[in-house]
Structure 1
Amino acid sequence: MSTQNKDKLVAEAARLRAEGHPERARERLLALTAEFPDAADVAYQTAWVHDVLGLETEAVPYYERCLQLPGLTVEDRRGAMLGLGSTYRVLGRYGQAVETLRAGVAEFPDDGALRSFLAMALYNIGEHHEAMEILLRLVATTSTDPYVARYRRAIELYAGDLDESM
């Protein structure tokens, strides 16, 4: 099969997943995985569909593979890092979740979703202070709430040291 046909079939499987037919998408992606084991986009889409189906354990090796292979677009890499970190967290593999999500935040520092999932994983390992700091900074910098905006400077200041009474 040509790369062009592969790309068309990957897009079709992604469409099926997005339209609420994840089982059909999974079947197609597993067949593509057998034919293109070193295709990062196939591995990523296969991981994603397993996550959608609640098959997190099965998703992990596909996420890991797609992140090790060349060829992911920037947006797919971002999604794979979030997906893998979140999946590790769901599986109770909190240390790996923190490690993966920290790497994602380092690579994509403006991604609020990565920072949010990192905060959740930090909470799970008992790093409540850092988790709260991340979330407060995220709220302060991204909220459109006029009352949050009014106190943005104070929220950011307190985020750095919640134990300070100022």
Structure 2
Amino acid sequence: MIDAELARAVSLRESGAFDEARDLLLRLSSAAPDDARVAYQTAWVHDRLGLEGDAVPHYVRALDGDGLSAVERRGALLGLGSTYRTLGRYAEAVDVLSRGVREFPEDRALAVFLAMARYNTGDAKQAVAGLLTLLAETTTDPEIQRYRPAIELYAEDLDRIWS
């Protein structure tokens, strides 16, 4: 029963029927408060509706529970970290997004959102270093690739003076 209703709620969200999906997901959350998948989808639809503050407890419950696939867990970490950042809860955003980067080091979106959160905490040096590393690792631009070793070296210590 939960699986079918959850699939229906996801379909509603994906088709843009956010309010209807939210109503269904809130009912499912009441019926299955320990279901991490329901919590994740409930958080997601709240975020989609611009109800970030209401999304947070659902993300937390999803991440504290069991049953999320790796894709869902990655999405929940990104969603919660991004939501904390949107709400001005920057230190919490850095904590969650750092955990996401440790768990999913290949996920570049997590690294970008972590850089933004680090900037918001006043850690511009780490933010820029992270973005430089990401750029060097992912770009196909031939001019940037030409200077990749230098960019990666500078990213390690932006304040170092070379003499």
Q: TM-score, normalised by structure 2?
A: 0.96
Unaligned 5+ segments in structure 2 are none
Correspondence 1:134-153 to 2 at 5 A = 134-153=130-149
How big is the shift at 1:45? Answer: 0.1
1:103-138 deviations in Å (ceiling 9; x for gaps):
111111111111111111100010000000000000
Match of 2:43 in 1: 47
Match of 1:72 in 2: 68
How big is the shift at 1:164? Answer: 2.7
Q: Percent identity?
A: 57
In structure 2, give the amino acid aligned to 1:147. Answer: E
Runs of 4+ that moved beyond 6 A? none
Match of 1:56 in 2: 52
Q: Report whether the alignment pairs 1:27 with 2:15.
A: no
Q: Aligned-residue CA RMSD in angstroms?
A: 1.0
1:37-58 deviations in Å (ceiling 9; x for gaps):
1100000000000000000000
Work out the CA distance in 1 between the residues paired with 2:141 and 2:18: 36
Correspondence 1:81-96 to 2 at 5 A = 81-96=77-92
Work out the CA distance in 1 between the residues paired with 2:155 and 2:7: 42
1:51-104 deviations in Å (ceiling 9; x for gaps):
000000000000000000011111100000000000001001111111111111
1:127-154 deviations in Å (ceiling 9; x for gaps):
0000000000001001122222222111
Aligned residues: 162
